[in-house]
Structure 1
Amino acid sequence: MDITTLGIDLAKSVFQLHGVDAVGTVVLKKKLRRGVVLDFLGKLPPCLIGMEACATSNYWARAITALGHEVKLIPPAYVKPYVKRQKNDAADAEAICEAVTRPNMRFVPLKSAGRQGVLVLHRTRDLLMRQRTMMLNAIRGHLAEFGVIAAQGSRNVMALIAQLQTEGRFDLPDIARSALLGLAAQLASLTAEIRALERRLMAWHREDATSQRLETIPGVGIITATALSASIPDPSVFKSGRQFAAFLGLVPRQNSSGGKDRLGRISKMGDGYLRRLLVVGATSVIRRAGTNETATGSWVRSLLERKPARVVTVAMANKTARIAWVVLNRGEVYRGSPAV
């Protein structure tokens, strides 16, 4: 078979393949079980292979690339316009095969196993942080049922736990005290595990030059820097900082027509985790804007005079994303300019 382009619809067990030759004639339509995909592709001559970016796509891209093929990952939203009528595995594979050949198509950068491992650290830490918040709220809420009130914040809840561990401090039934002490033990275990993950991220940060350069940007700490470095191994797939910000969903959603530009809220497309980290970092920049004597500080203060603080925070996150793309693309550190 003279296959030049192949579209693969990934699945849990059964994969659908759609291949065409140099003139676009369909030469392959085939279903394969997961275990025989690599054996089949290993017998084909090198060709261009397209797949939708999903949870397992990076693994399959690395494995297929090792066989000599060129693999490109496409965002699923960019494949959807090429699906004809009914949606099924065969139609999806055909749409992927068509989309991967478009000259203006945008692709997702392929991540190495090491960088995926760093992202696993991030996802695990994020999950444990949510569980920790749930534990804190549960302890605070259960104590409130017995008239023990504390202000919001982890420090206030930890102070309550310290008092709870002292016998006779609160007038609680023994059965309730034992349950709350169990939650406190789980909270301590979660906190220790989060600290261990953060130490692992710090160790990786000290070994990664890209992450260290990103940390020089205002509003970007170690957590954000390591997440950006691991998520964007090849910044050249984005033509500009604006395109990178759009990839993160930090640009306004457009509904323009008839020559009239209508811009709404941010699109919230792309990686929500990175977007959240950038917004949190931008919040810290906004809070220090009054004492920031750089051009960024002057720009933030001028926006705050005209816009709500939350809108300015998102605008600052957009600006940070564009600066991060420049730092990634040029391999330089951030150099802030003084205010005029």
Structure 2
Amino acid sequence: MSEITRVGVDLAKRVIQVHAVNAAGQRVTSRALARDKFMAWCAQLPAGCLVAMEASSSAHHWARRLVALGLDARIIAAHLVAPYRLQGKSGKNDANDAAAICEAASRPQMHFVPVKSVEQQSMLCIHRLREGFKAERTACVNRIRGLLAEFGLVFAQKPAVLRQALPDVIEDACNELGTLARLALQRAWAQWQELDAHLAWCDERIAAHLKVNEQVRQAEQLMGVGPVTASAVVATVGDFKQFRNGAQFGAWLGLTPRQNSSGGKNNLGAITKRGDMYLRMLLIQGAKSAVMTAHRRDDPISKWLHQLREKSGWQKAAVALANKNARILWAVFVRGKPFDARHVSVKPGMAAAAV
């Protein structure tokens, strides 16, 4: 075990495959371990040994435990591992996956996923739960509309209108609703109210995160960034210094255009949509509200946003503001300066020329 310098780990629910190599890259061992024996095996590795694994639901948990043992735990995004599987798509199995992870971890330009803390993952649990409740509430409301439409009862599209009218509709004896239909709607109405209560609880937890976390309060100052977006950004990213600059952070979120350039000719398309879909969605949705009200403000960002909306449409303007907000977030957290809507950025080269 002392000659092992790098280990690739393929995680699973019950069996964990490991592939270990020495300093020369030669295989030392490749074996499957029971889940309860994995940490005991890792405890025999030399201190500082690199242990890499694919990003998965339990990867951060294992990485924290390995770091506590004095090992160098790394997490790699799954799509960056696949090219290093020598057997290709037709040779996918646990042993080959572990070998591919081990090989990918040796690349000097490999991008690793920072290990999340327990606090970060706990806060993200609230966000994931909130998104699930939102989807369930939407399904519940649509289900109620469909049931009412079967009896010729149609209401305005806004949920608030249906929420106000539904109790009276259930109690109204003049409509065609049968006894079983009324009972079914009562159950659906109770489910709707329960989901509203769950969502309110999630919003309370996010508000508490905003109250106690200085970074969340700083992020909320940006135009088009509310408490939910600010909390999600801080909980997901953690250390913003992992990115070289704001442009790299925007690219990590999938907010930059995809390229198909060749022969010196640049050809840019739609945004790549890589990275965290939840963060990208929140930034774009928040940017939409800022785009629609940009004409009411006179700061430089709002003026630029209004001109872009008139030129290219509100959809492109919203994505552009989301990308700009991503860059501003990086600058705020890395440089330690509060957000200023009237700040005018100067490129380092231009500043040096002016001096």
Q: TM-score range by the shorter chain?
A: over 0.9
| C-alpha distance in structure 2 between counterparts of 1:135 and 1:333, whole Å | 42
3-state SS in 1 of match to 2:289:
helix
In the TM superposition, residue 87 of structure 1 has moved relative to its aligned partner by 2.4
3-state SS in 1 of match to 2:185:
helix
Match of 1:83 in 2: 85
Match of 1:6 in 2: 7
1:293–1:338 Cα contact (<8 Å) kept: no
TM-score by length of 1: 0.95
Larger relative contact order (C-alpha < 8 A, sep ≥ 6)? 1
Q: Give the counterpart letter for 1:130 in structure 2.
A: A
Match of 1:43 in 2: 44
Is 1:98 the counterpart of 2:100 in the alignment? no
In the TM superposition, residue 308 of structure 1 has moved relative to its aligned partner by 2.3
- Structure 2: which 5+ residue stretches go unaligned? 345-355
| C-alpha distance in structure 2 between counterparts of 1:193 and 1:169, whole Å | 34
Is 1:214 the counterpart of 2:219 in the alignment? yes
Q: Percent identity?
A: 41
Match of 1:289 in 2: 294
1:213–1:332 Cα contact (<8 Å) kept: no
3-state SS in 2 of match to 1:11:
coil
3-state SS in 2 of match to 1:31:
strand
Structure 1 outlier segments of 4+, above 3 Å: none
Is 1:31 the counterpart of 2:32 in the alignment? yes
Taking the TM superposition and a 5 Å limit, the aligned residue runs for 1:153-192 are 153-168=158-173, 170-192=175-197
Q: Give the counterpart letter for 2:194 in structure 1.
A: S
Judge which range, 124-133 or 312-321, deviates more: 312-321
After superposition, the C-alpha distances for 1:14-64 in whole angstroms (9 at most, x for unaligned) are: 212112222222222221111100000011112011111111100010111
- Structure 1: which 5+ residue stretches go unaligned? none
| C-alpha distance in structure 2 between counterparts of 1:141 and 1:292, whole Å | 42
124, 132, 153: which one aligns with 1:119: 124
3-state SS in 2 of match to 1:305:
helix
3-state SS in 1 of match to 2:32:
strand
3-state SS in 1 of match to 2:318:
helix
1:294–1:336 Cα contact (<8 Å) kept: yes
1:14–1:31 Cα contact (<8 Å) kept: yes
2:21–2:29 Cα contact (<8 Å) kept: yes
Q: Give the counterpart letter for 1:28 in structure 2.
A: T
Q: Give the counterpart letter for 2:61 in structure 1.
A: Y
1:248–1:270 Cα contact (<8 Å) kept: yes
Is 1:60 the counterpart of 2:65 in the alignment? no
In the TM superposition, residue 165 of structure 1 has moved relative to its aligned partner by 4.3
Judge which range, 18-27 or 217-226, deviates more: 18-27
Q: Give the counterpart letter for 1:69 in structure 2.
A: L
1:289–1:300 Cα contact (<8 Å) kept: yes
1:99–1:105 Cα contact (<8 Å) kept: yes
Q: CA RMSD in A?
A: 1.6
| C-alpha distance in structure 2 between counterparts of 1:256 and 1:169, whole Å | 67
| C-alpha distance in structure 2 between counterparts of 1:219 and 1:232, whole Å | 18
Q: Give the counterpart letter for 1:61 in structure 2.
A: A
2:170–2:185 Cα contact (<8 Å) kept: no
Judge which range, 121-130 or 165-174, deviates more: 165-174
In the TM superposition, residue 169 of structure 1 has moved relative to its aligned partner by 5.8
